Structure 1
């Protein structure tokens, strides 16, 4: 994505009840998070910049690749499971059917979900609780890499009786990630199985505009 640049976002300071600045991303140091922090979601507005990052990614993809862009709340149905906090959904479909489509779903949390290909949803942030101590910058790093890897043809999906599995990998093999889920509706698995068999589970790179 040659034209993509992360938006310039002013840092926002969050404070605890005593007025001290909360150093998200380094709250616990070498220690384990307090047990009660796993059930706490504080200052989730710190993830709001992810919406700007997602929009910048959408704009870059639309300007560089041969795609169809649809902006319709109903497209949130692409997600593997329903959400009740969706405020926007944008599907980007490459002109080449062997390249994986991406649907960006914006939530009021605020967060971004990206449905890639046929069977997997990527969550940004994955959790957002105080124990995880995520920052929007680190989450944006993951979203940018995931999206770019899909677009460059480094995305594989598998469907089987046990559920779905995916793998993302750089062209040079320097970085990869993978995962699987058994919590997939049977109808979605059955519908995706044939299409994934045709491409041997490996999505191709998106076609660029000429």
Structure 2
């Protein structure tokens, strides 16, 4: 079972020498305007790398997955990781986790020099931890660690799901977390075209099926994981038309040979 590593008890002080209570700094009036463009003490997020390392070790020990570690940005990094390297923020270390079954979502965990962590999930999902890091957002190390854990474990447990449709665009759902389900939607006209194409290709390869939970690690390295029987589903219009076309061709051939 995964256990969070012990986080250091970091204390940072303000101009008056008072400890800064990250996570509960601002009252009902909200954060001062000047704090939206300022990030003091980003080093408080440095222990997130320990959490990320513990998560990778847990996944490698628990699931049937291939793990590849790369210094910097790997050559085949998905766009969901690349788009987080901009300005003065760079990817310094990347871990790619590929479950040994195509029905399971891949996962990329990348460390930035902010410091922070980028999590790329499936074909189009990506999140940055901390989500912002500015003084106004007032994110704490503990809350950021919990977010990182939920993102990563949601992929392995099959709680992360994504889909693209012409009418709804990109929809991403993470169910069953400590804070309940989360849902996000990007309309087709606003979503990144590369993410759309990656998700459409993924859906074609999976025949529109949901991402499955990662298979557990097997003692026999050559053992094959058998997927549970898939639930019955209705055919799409394209599938029905393809079956009818094939049947008509067979009838035509029989008539020509009669």
Matched, 1:71 2:76: no
SS class of match (2:13) = coil
Deviation at 1:184, TM superposition (A): 4.3
**In the alignment, which residue of structure 1 is the partner of 2:172?**
166
- Deviation string 1:32-68 (CA, Å, 9 cap, x unpaired) is 1111111111101011111110110000000110000
Q: Is contact 1:79–1:121 with CA below 8 Å preserved after alignment?
A: no
Question: Tell me, which stretches of 5 or more residues in structure 2 are unaligned?
Answer: 219-258
- The number of residues matched between the two structures is 207
The two structures have a TM-score, normalised by structure 1, of: 0.90
CA distance in 2, matches of 1:49, 1:174: 22
**In the alignment, which residue of structure 2 is the partner of 1:207?**
215
CA distance in 2, matches of 1:164, 1:97: 21
**Larger RCO of the pair (alpha carbons < 8 Å, separation 6+):** 1
CA distance in 2, matches of 1:128, 1:168: 22
Question: Tell me, which stretches of 5 or more residues in structure 1 are unaligned?
Answer: none
Which of 195, 201, 206 aligns to 1:194? It is: 201
- Deviation string 1:13-42 (CA, Å, 9 cap, x unpaired) is 101122111111111133311111111111
The two structures have a TM-score, normalised by structure 2, of: 0.74
Which of 37, 40, 43 aligns to 1:39? It is: 37
Identify if the C-alpha distance between structure 1 residues 51 and 174 changes in structure 2 by more than 3 Å, giving closer, same or farther.
closer
Q: Which has the larger radius of gyration?
A: 2
CA distance in 2, matches of 1:74, 1:90: 10
